[in-house]
A = this chain, B = another copy of it.
Amino acid sequence: MSLDAVLSRIDSDLPAATERLMELLRIPSISTDPAYTADCDHAADWLVADLTGLGIATEKRVTPGHPMVVGHLDGPGPHLLFYGHYDVQPVDPLELWDNDPFDPRIEQTPKGKVIRGRGSSDDKGQLMTFIEACRAWKAVHGSLPCKLTFFLEGEEESGSPSLVPFMEENAEELKSDLALICDTGLFESKTPAIVTMLRGLLGEELTIKGPDIDLHSGMYGGVAINPIRVLSRIIASLHDAQGRITVPGFYDGVPELPDEIEAQWQGLAFDHGTFLGDVGLSKPAGEQDRTPLEMIWSRPTCEVNGIWGGYTGDGFKTVLPSEAHAKISFRLVGTQDPLKIREAFRTMVREMLPEDCDVSFRDHGAGAASMTETSDPSFEAARQALTEEWQIPAAYVGCGGSIPIAGHFQTILGTTPMLIGFGKDDDALHSPNEKYDVESFHKGIRSWARILAALT
């Protein structure tokens, strides 16, 4: 059978496929930092060349930010679009990496072989699973089994500012029967999963300004307002004692979980002891009356992602700083309105400001939550394909992360998104020592080959 030949080809080509991924991982395409603009461009070029080599007509498309990579291949059967992103997160704190984040290596660990390096899991390793599946298919059959569009982004880790305008301008070109998105994980690191619920994301940066200049805390301490103390008080007041978020109107549009989903989730063997224990924790923080799985998949959050102000170097400096800063993000669910929440948050902060303090805000993106209908028969076909590969029944799951593109496919293109990925909970996404299991990479490629067969 034709699928078996493709799977064999994938197995025998794995060393070469791994070497191709390592090449892509060596490009430090950090999208949020302007110092890496040329590297983002280089990563886009690399993908254009690779897809072109597969016979896919691919172009680097200019945006006001980093370029999009768009490729088309005509073919029989349904029209599938594949989305992934070639940009990666920053690497600091660099001193916590065991090796250069952009000098990836294969490591043998107690849990198996891993590919270690920034972007190995998020998202270069994942996007290459699909490309490698296509490569094997083409090698065996000389062509691919369906009409294909590749749509690869370079700004996913920096709020995707160019994405919506680009999708709107090129809607006709990008419309397809189904959008495959590979940027999620296995459930509990072992069960194949299709994500049907995604949280939205609102990112805010605030700067509290007190005195005009940094002051000597001996001369002014006590009598002059200290913006770090003001900022700390604001952050401390964003949650109440029960772990609920205090921004007025925040919970408008937060649905209770439908009974059937609750039942399905209770059937999943989620062990929060292991989930937290893997990262050195023992007790769920957050809302006291919610289960950990609810908190991660279906409840909104407010987290501080960064804070800084005053003297942060070695030693001590008795400075009373002029400014203090924080980066704060909200994960959103249901029909929570990101723009309304932004306004409510900003108003709340302004109302908490004491005299002699100013606040300024910087917008780091806003996207609502999304939920996918799974009634299309392709979902069941993909679920069976995943089950066959992993020999564990694939699950429909929620995801705590935010992948705004999923909602955009629905709203801008009218295309149903299908989110399938092979990351594991201990991949250290966005952290030092990010890795992707060779198992994820290998079985991920095989999964896509099976899904291509099942959908065409």
In the complex, A400 has a CB within 8 A of chain B: yes
Stretch at the interface among A16-24, A47-55, A297-305: A297-305
The docked-state distance in angstroms from the alpha carbon of A282 to that of B357 is 10
In the complex, A262 has a CB within 8 A of chain B: no
Closest-by-CB residue of B relative to A402 is B218
Check B304 against A306 for contact (C-beta < 8 Å): no
In the complex, A99 has a CB within 8 A of chain B: no
The docked-state distance in angstroms from the alpha carbon of A239 to that of B236 is 13
Chain B residues within 8 Å of A214, by CB: 93, 96, 428, 430-432
Rounded to whole Å, the gap between the CB of A49 and the closest CB of chain B is 28
In the complex, A125 has a CB within 8 A of chain B: no
Q: List 26 A-B contacts (CB under 8 A).
A: A32-B315, A90-B313, A90-B317, A159-B315, A159-B316, A201-B318, A213-B432, A214-B431, A215-B431, A216-B431, A217-B329, A219-B425, A219-B429, A220-B279, A221-B329, A222-B331, A222-B400, A223-B286, A223-B295, A224-B285, A226-B285, A228-B306, A229-B238, A305-B318, A310-B327, A319-B430
A residues 207-252 in Cβ contact with B at 8 Å? 210-226, 228-229, 231-233, 235-239
Mark A residues whose CB is within 8 Å of B. Answer: 31-34, 89-90, 92-93, 96, 157-159, 199, 201, 203, 205, 210-226, 228-229, 231-233, 235-239, 272, 276, 279-287, 292, 295-296, 299-301, 303-321, 324-327, 329, 331, 354-356, 364-365, 399-402, 425, 428-433
Check A400 against B221 for contact (C-beta < 8 Å): yes
Chain B residues within 8 Å of A233, by CB: 232, 235-236
Check A218 against B400 for contact (C-beta < 8 Å): yes
Chain B residues within 8 Å of A309, by CB: 304, 306-308
Rounded to whole Å, the gap between the CB of A187 and the closest CB of chain B is 12
Check B222 against A287 for contact (C-beta < 8 Å): yes
